[in-house]
Amino acid sequence: MAGGRIGQALGLLGGLALLAAVHLEGAVRTVAGAPAGVFGAFPAAAPVANPGAAGEGNPAPPLRPAGKPRSLTQGTGLDGFPDWSPDGRQIAFMRDGRIWLLPAAGGEPRPITGAGRGWDVAPAWSPDGRRIAVVRLDPEEEGPTRVVLVDPAAGREEEVLSTREPVGYLAWAPHGGAIAYTAGSRLEVLELESRRARILVRVGPEEDLLAGGLAWSPDGQWLLYAVGPRRPGVGRYNLFRVPAAGGTPEALTQDGGLMPALAPDGRRLAYRRPASPAGIVVMDLVTGTSAFWAQDSGGVRHFHPRWSPDGQRLALSRLSLQGKGGNVHLSSHLVVLQ
């Protein structure tokens, strides 16, 4: 797989904020296994989160007292993009470019997509738990990006989208009939029956949606996404929401936010705060209060929060950076916070 495709996968895995801080090519060379080359309605007047950042005169959110994170996976490869099955019994995730299933209570994972077909990322369960939508990056640099639906029980796949543009995150509509996805400068919704996509949000030429994450509100009325700079290190991502039927986007954060995840009750929003101190923040959308559930430290970064169906736990990707310059090694594993 060409370096650009690896870069896209790493950009999704860690977010562009992380890529700005490491030498990507050095990290790519040491990635194990990498190919060469609601709840009723959404709160009507949700306050804009303004937790502040170090040096800006505003206090950071407090650290929430929590138990020790429970590791779900271990190793030196790339595990990321966790997503709970609707019944809470399994977690789909990416491991080194393939999609795997892991018992949520612990155990051995099993692959559900094959090697050599591309680089699979960003799994998203269907609401009925029967299929998993996956972004498949083509092995060739100029090849198409595909969205495929995987039946983990039968082992069948169905392609529902093929495009020459990069595709980022997926989010399955609660009613099951549509999938939202980020495609560079656009947020689109694909109707599965007709295979027609409609543009919901389009950003400017200097802005990007690809690595910012995506989430539906539990009642299907809103989509949450993040807008950031096309060039890493210039500005930061912030969270927005837009009516799923179309309309004017509204800001949810001012001082940074990406990778949103709404709890099943629709009241709590988990997201990555990129500003220092960085980490995973949970905000109450009614009161506007927020607290860290996981803070970055040293070479450890936290990404991709996903609520369990009971709303009591968060699954995360925990990335570790070791080394300097061209010898940087990037690995990640999955943890659960409660």
Give the model confidence (pLDDT) of 70-85 as tens digits: 999 988 888 999 999 9
Short-list 251, 246, 259, CA closest to 293:
259
Taking CA atoms, 295 is separated from 13, 282, 301, in Å, by 17, 12, 8
Give the model confidence (pLDDT) of 39-72 as tens digits: 223 343 344 444 333 333 346 677 665 667 899 9
Residue 215 CA to residue 115 CA, distance in Å, equals 28
- Asked whether the predicted pLDDT for residue 14 surpasses 70, the reply is no
Give the model confidence (pLDDT) of 207-237 as tens digits: 988 889 999 999 999 999 999 887 766 568 9
Short-list 131, 204, 139, 115, CA closest to 170:
131
Q: 29: which DSSP letter?
A: H
Q: What angle do CA 170, 175, 178 make, to 5 degrees?
A: 40
65-69 long-range contacts (CB < 8 A, ≥24 apart) are: 66/293, 66/337, 66/338, 67/337, 67/338, 69/294, 69/316, 69/318, 69/335, 69/336, 69/337
User: Looking at the DSSP assignment, which residues form a beta bridge with residue 93?
Assistant: 100
Each domain of the chain, given as residue ranges in start order, spans 3-337
Residue 36 CA to residue 4 CA, distance in Å, equals 11
Short-list 241, 230, 253, CA closest to 166:
230
Would you put residue 106 in left (φ > 0), alpha (ψ -120 to 50) or beta?
left
Give the model confidence (pLDDT) of 178-190 as tens digits: 999 998 799 999 9
Tokens for 293, please give them.
Answer: 């559930």
CATH fold of 3-337 reads Neuraminidase (2.120.10)
Short-list 309, 315, 308, CA closest to 293:
315
Spatial neighbors of 107 by CB under 8 A, at least 6 apart, are: none
The model carries a pTM of: 0.84
Are the beta carbons of 334 and 91 closer than 8 angstroms? yes
Tokens for 147, please give them.
Answer: 């969205």
For the beta carbon of residue 304, count every other beta carbon within 10 angstroms: 30
Give the model confidence (pLDDT) of 230-258 as tens digits: 776 656 899 999 999 999 999 999 889 99
Tokens for 43, please give them.
Answer: 């709160």
| DSSP per residue, 181-234 | EEETTEEEEEETTTTEEEEEEE--TTEE-TTS-EEE-TTSSEEEEEEEESSTTS
- Least confident window among 162-176, 209-223, 230-244, 274-288: 230-244
Are the beta carbons of 109 and 96 closer than 8 angstroms? no
Residue 99 CA to residue 116 CA, distance in Å, equals 12
| Residue 196 main-chain phi, psi, to 5 deg | -100, 140
Residue 46 CA to residue 281 CA, distance in Å, equals 16
Give the model confidence (pLDDT) of 88-122 as tens digits: 999 999 998 899 999 999 899 999 998 777 899 99
Are the beta carbons of 112 and 99 closer than 8 angstroms? yes
Short-list 247, 300, 301, CA closest to 274:
301
Residue 91 CA to residue 76 CA, distance in Å, equals 19
